[in-house]
Chains A and B, each alone.
Chain A
């Protein structure tokens, strides 16, 4: 497959615009993500990155434009349908279920897959039990992969921030999404934690074939992890290419890399 083959594109954003009360958050944004790549979305705060993720996730409806995911077109989509079609996400500020254990949090990622009914579950009928066992196995596999077994029964709210981020990744990953949206998965982490998280993301992408869209501020992480970088500034795309191409783009240097945060 070549880069221009439309079959190769898992996601295409076409001329998307979004405004809040007359302020443009995103203006006529277009880009495509190839199947199996890690695409980083970078740009200063307020550039529209999280807004875009919220559009892909069905939380916001864009004013104009359309999304093509796996050859299916839509402008607005029900968040339930997003999950059903295989898009998983994590949130910028952790959105874990703080009173549940690590294992339970990961299991919620499979909750929509329950095909046994409420009463079957309540009475623990064979079908419900078999399903539960299968879900548990998948969740355990994720815990093992993310090296979370030792805290599997810990209440998430009591864990260190870096571990919480990992649990959130596991919760999104357990449903085996085709596309994973990660909103600043390394924010607030120290260097060691960032390296670990980068390694997990790279492994997920390589071994599970999961396409990843990553919002990240740490340029070092972005350059080493991603193959494709899209740069936003004030809701517009100012660069789109390989890390090397983007890094040498004068507009990017002016708008982002040189900017003081």
Chain B
């Protein structure tokens, strides 16, 4: 029983990082109707930028600040050069656009900053702590706490500021928001920047674990099942989906792994996602699609 709990808790904590990545998707999907496949490469880009600045001698906080400013600049560029000219195109066209964007960002990021693996030390000891007889990774705990704080900040942003109000308005009914004079382009810029920042936080946490490298951009493939389980339109769903995927794949690896020769973590999330497509196509918290006339 203790071993089970330990595995479960470890899985849940790892899942919070999936949640962070998925939140970025949800924000962009809600505000601009775009499924942003480039979320993973933007995560790689921003984390790589941070590490490179940090390695170049900038202190932690300064490097973080500069990275966030660069992310905001990238968000403005994406809005101006891609979203605005392609507004009202088919979802497939927009998806292909983000697919292209993901290769461009990844290529440019590695071209400019190199493809080697960077170590990233966030100053959190990865020493396990004990709750009774249950061993918990201190790093996972810190990562989960960071994710929680970020989610709290986002909640305040969306529910307590008027920009958040405009953002929810755009997500709910774009046409009505426009008629009220809400600046759609500005909202898109803000949302892409905020999604980028949540990606950066996730990237830093993952990067500290596994090194900052090309493979970080593949988290996009982990976020997909999370979104299918949680629903594309709900931040709460992204959080729940991340936790479910994290817990399920760790438990599956531990208990089913020996039966199939291990390696379940790379695909078990998709088994869950497909099961969800059967029983709950809109995800746990997603809205069922209603055709707009």
Listed in ascending order, the chain A residues whose CB lies under 8 Å from chain B are 57, 59, 79-80, 82-84, 88-89, 91, 93, 95-100, 104, 107-112, 114, 118, 121-122, 124, 128, 132, 135, 171-172, 175
Whether A80 lies near B168 (C-beta < 8 A) is no
CB distance from A121 to the nearest CB of B (A): 4
- Counting CB contacts under 8 A, is B2 at the interface? no
Q: Mark B226-253, 1 if CB is under 8 A from A, else 0.
A: 0000000000000000000000000000
Chain B window 189-231, contacts with chain A (Cβ cutoff 8 Å), 1 for yes, 0 for no: 0100000000000000000000000000000000000000000
B residues less than 8 Å from A132 (CB atoms)? 162
Which of A59, A95, A107 is within 8 Å of B162, CB to CB?
A: A107
Whether A114 contacts B162 by the Cβ 8 Å rule is: yes
Q: How many Å from the CB of B75 to the closest CB on chain A?
A: 13
Complex contact B180–A109 (CB within 8 A): yes
A-B contact pairs, 15 of them (CB 8 A): A59-B175, A79-B178, A84-B181, A89-B179, A93-B293, A95-B173, A99-B168, A108-B169, A108-B180, A111-B165, A111-B166, A118-B190, A122-B156, A122-B161, A172-B180
Interface of B is mostly: helix
Whether A95 and B176, one on each chain, are in contact in the complex, defined by CB atoms closer than 8 angstroms, is yes
> Does B78 reach chain A (CB closer than 8 Å)?
no
Q: Provide the bound-state CA to CA distance between A226 and B266, in Å.
A: 68
Do A99 and B172 touch (CB < 8 A)?
A: yes
Known: A111-B165, A121-B162, A122-B161. A98 touches B172 (CB 8 A): yes
Count chain B CB atoms within 10 A of each CB in A83, A98, A135 and give the residue with the most.
Answer: A83
Interface centre among A89, A118, A135 (most CB of B within 10 A): A118
Q: Is B182 an interface residue (CB 8 A)?
A: yes
Out of B156, B163, B181, which one reaches A118, CB within 8 Å?
A: B163
A93 vs chain B, min Cβ distance (A) = 8
Q: Evaluate contact between B181 and A121: CB separation under 8 angstroms.
A: no
How distant is the Cα of A79 from the Cα of B181 in the complex, in angstroms?
7
Residues of chain A contacted by B169 (CB below 8 angstroms): 97, 100, 108, 111
CB distance from B175 to the nearest CB of A (A): 6
Contacts of B153-187 to chain A: CB distance below 8 A: 156-157, 160-163, 165-166, 168-169, 172-173, 175-183
Complex contacts, B172 vs chain A, CB 8 Å: 97-100
Contacts of B160 in A (CB 8 A): 124
Task: Kindly state the separation between the CA atoms of A121 and B158 in the bound complex, as whole angstroms.
Answer: 11
Which 4 pairs across A and B sit closest by C-beta, in order of nearness? A83-B181, A112-B181, A95-B176, A121-B161
**Interchain CB contact under 8 A, B156 and A107:** no
**Is there an interface contact between A111 and B162, defined as CB atoms closer than 8 Å?**
yes
A109–B177 alpha-carbon span in the complex (Å) = 9
Known A108-B169, A114-B163, A118-B161; contact A80-B181, beta-carbon cutoff 8 A: yes
Q: In the complex, how many angstroms separate the beta carbon of B253 from the nearest chain A beta carbon?
A: 38
B contact residues, range:
20 to 34
With A100-B168, A122-B157 as contacts: A135 and B162 at CB distance below 8 Å:
yes
Alpha-carbon gap, A114 to B182, bound state (A): 10
CB proximity of A197 to chain B, nearest CB, Å = 19
Closest to A98 in B: B172
Nearest opposing residue in chain A for B159, CB measure: A104
Q: Which residue of B lies closest to A84 (CB)?
A: B181
CA distance A155 to B156 in the complex (A): 19
CA distance A122 to B197 in the complex (A): 15
A128 to B181 CA separation, bound complex (whole angstroms): 19
* CB-CB nearest in chain A for B156: A122
| A80–B183 CB distance below 8 A | yes
Given the interface contacts A109-B180, A112-B183, A122-B157, does A96 sit within 8 Å of B163 by beta carbon? no
Contact A175 B180 (CB under 8 A): yes
Residue from A80, A84, A91, A111 having most chain B Cβ neighbours under 10 A: A111
CB distance from A91 to the nearest CB of B (A): 7
Q: What residues of chain A lie closer than 8 Å to B293, measured between beta carbons?
A: 93
Minimum CB distance partner of A93 in chain B: B293
In the bound complex, what is the Cα–Cα distance between A172 and B182 (angstroms)?
Answer: 13
- Other A-B contacts than A118-B163, A132-B162, 9 sampled, CB-CB below 8 A, are A80-B182, A83-B181, A84-B181, A99-B172, A100-B168, A111-B166, A122-B157, A128-B161, A172-B180
Closest B residue by C-beta to A113: B181
Given contact pairs A97-B169, A108-B166, A91 touches B161 in the complex (Cβ within 8 A): no
Please state if B175 and A95 are interface contacts (CB–CB under 8 Å). Answer: yes
B residues less than 8 Å from A82 (CB atoms): 179, 181
User: Measured between alpha carbons, how far is A80 from B173 in the docked complex, in Å?
Assistant: 15
User: Who on chain B is nearest to A124 by CB?
Assistant: B160
Interchain CB contact (< 8 A) of B178 among A80, A88, A104, A110: A80
**B168 in contact with A97 (CB, 8 Å):** yes
Chain B residues closer than 8 Å to A122, beta-carbon distance: 156-157, 161
> How far apart are B136's CB and chain A's nearest CB, in angstroms?
33
A83 near B179: Cβ-Cβ < 8 Å: yes
